[in-house]
Structure 1
Amino acid sequence: MAEEVPLTGSSFARANLQRLIEMMRDDELSNRDWATMLLAQQEIDTPEVRDALLLAALDENNVVRAEALLGLAQRDKQLALPLVRAELMGDIACMPLFEAAETIADPALAPVLKAWVEPSDDKFLDRCALDALTACQTGNI
């Protein structure tokens, strides 16, 4: 998209948005991942976009789910809260999931985030988890 493909404002843009949403259901993981990330980053907030992100939040791949949850958190923190909490209780977490938790900044996430702040070999991810925990403990970002 290179920030040049419109997603709103015309029939051409509407067709682009539809194609992006369709790619979120593609058989190829890399297509689902990129499409979900791109839609999550947009400021578009319609029922159709939320539905697409909710569906992607159920994807078999944890990165796709995390990207979708970040997009949902940016649109509706209360809707995303239980989904992010459930994902944090799993065995795998990635940066967009911690970003979603940080965006939500709800103290209810602090107990499940504590398990992720133990030092690991990935200092960047450790920092993301700590930033999310801090936001949730203070209730703001």
Structure 2
Amino acid sequence: MTDRYEPTSDFLKAVIAEEVPLSGSAFANGNMRKLIAMTRDGDLSNRDWATMLLASEDADTPEIREALLSAANDENDVVRAEALLGIAKRDRKLALPLALDALSGEQASMAVFEAAELIADPLLVEVLRPWTEPSDDVWLDQLARDALAACEKAHEPLS
């Protein structure tokens, strides 16, 4: 039996289980502020989950963007990738230089390719091409090809 990867925070576990509202009331707004704060938690599992949960929210406020931009500079590449995806969902132009940087590295995760597909900018084509070479991860290869196709289809750069 394998252990599920979970945050250590009971609060984040409650958010994952959808037991904690994040919008619609003063109580929920307080929960959102707590979630935002958890993106800077000292525990990696909490930072990772908080960033992913925040990135997946539909809300878009200056505080959320600031938290995601901060997480985009996290020491952990998974946290950075989740933050990039959250930024790409909110502002493709803001996400573009972060995606260029992420795709120029030694490794890229699912969230990076999903962000690149959302950004869909021709400037990403050349940095995406090497990622479309077949690897031992067929699923990730397909995400890279989907991102490349979206960027090739785009007519004008965002910048």
Return the index of the structure with the highest Cα Rg.
2
Q: Which residue, out of 134, 137, 145, partners 1:130?
A: 145
Alpha-carbon displacement from aligned partner over 1:101-131 (angstroms, at most 9, x marks no partner): 0001111101000011111111111111111
Name the structure 1 match of 2:123.
108
1:87 aligned onto 2:105: no
Shift of 1:139: 1.7
TM-score by length of 2: 0.85
1:119 aligned onto 2:134: yes
Question: C-alpha distance in 2, partners of 1:67/1:112?
Answer: 19
Q: Which secondary structure does the structure 2 equivalent of 1:16 belong to?
A: helix
Within 5 A, what are the aligned runs for 1:1-141? 1=15, 2-139=17-154
Question: C-alpha distance in 1, partners of 2:78/2:104?
Answer: 15
Shift of 1:4: 4.0
Alpha-carbon displacement from aligned partner over 1:60-92 (angstroms, at most 9, x marks no partner): 111110100000000000000111111110111
Question: C-alpha distance in 2, partners of 1:81/1:10?
Answer: 34
Question: C-alpha distance in 1, partners of 2:18/2:129?
Answer: 36
Q: Which secondary structure does the structure 1 equivalent of 2:105 belong to?
A: coil
Q: Which secondary structure does the structure 1 equivalent of 2:134 belong to?
A: coil
Percentage of identical aligned residues: 63
Shift of 1:3: 3.1
Question: C-alpha distance in 1, partners of 2:18/2:152?
Answer: 35
Unaligned runs of 5+ in 2: 1-14
Question: C-alpha distance in 2, partners of 1:28/1:88?
Answer: 26
Question: C-alpha distance in 2, partners of 1:4/1:106?
Answer: 38
**What is the aligned length?**
140
Question: AA paired with 1:89?
Answer: S
Shift of 1:97: 0.4
Shift of 1:23: 1.0
